[in-house]
Amino acid sequence: MDREFLADLFAPFGPVTIRRMFSGFGISADGVTFALVIRDAIYLRTDADGAARFEGEGSRPFCYDTRTKTVTVGSYWLLPERLLDDPDELADWARTAYAAAERAALDKASKTRRVAKKTAKPDSSKASTRTKPTGAQPKLKKAAKAAGPAKKAKTVKAAAAKRSRSVR
């Protein structure tokens, strides 16, 4: 499949951008990738609700092999072959895939914001006056905690000795 064929295929959907991706192409609209073309097969983006529609058509999710296992990507499913001959219905499936890709992008953005909010530094006017330890001390305490009570005392003493040597 080449770019011209793909552009013609998705023309009823609207203008698309086709970019090299992995060993094939990514098909996007308005910066949202909703389809992949890999090994001469077209995969559309979907979510848990849309996967049933693909299953009903006898489709399968995108899979690839690594050295040790087969990875299944459940968010991209093989386009049913009958849609290659029905451009209007293909456009409908593409719109559904585009909507699923937009929802996934919004969900990812909201998760990123939540994580950023949790890790944001507190306002300096509200910060406590207690100073944080510097150097390797926090890492060593974590290692001591993970090692258990028997090694904890040795690790903490080693950290204190190291700090005293570095101060001199």
Q: Which amino acid is it at 125?
A: S
* In a domain? residue 119: no
Successive 10-residue mean pLDDT values, the chain, 168 residues: 92 95 92 94 93 94 94 94 94 96 87 68 55 54 56 57 53
* In a domain? residue 124: no
Element holding 19 (H helix, E strand): strand 17-21
105 and 154 co-located in one domain: no
98 and 150 co-located in one domain: no
Query: Which pLDDT does position 167 carry in this prediction?
Result: 47
Give CA–CA dist 130/142, Å, rounded: 20
156 and 78 co-located in one domain: no
* In a domain? residue 115: no
Give one word for 41, left, alpha or beta, with left for phi > 0 and alpha for psi -120 to 50: beta
Structural domain range at position 145: 137-167
Query: Which pLDDT does position 49 carry in this prediction?
Result: 85
Q: Which of 61, 93, 109 is the last residue of a domain?
A: 109
- Please say whether the beta carbons of 136 and 159 come within 8 A: yes
Start-to-end Cα distance in the chain:
69
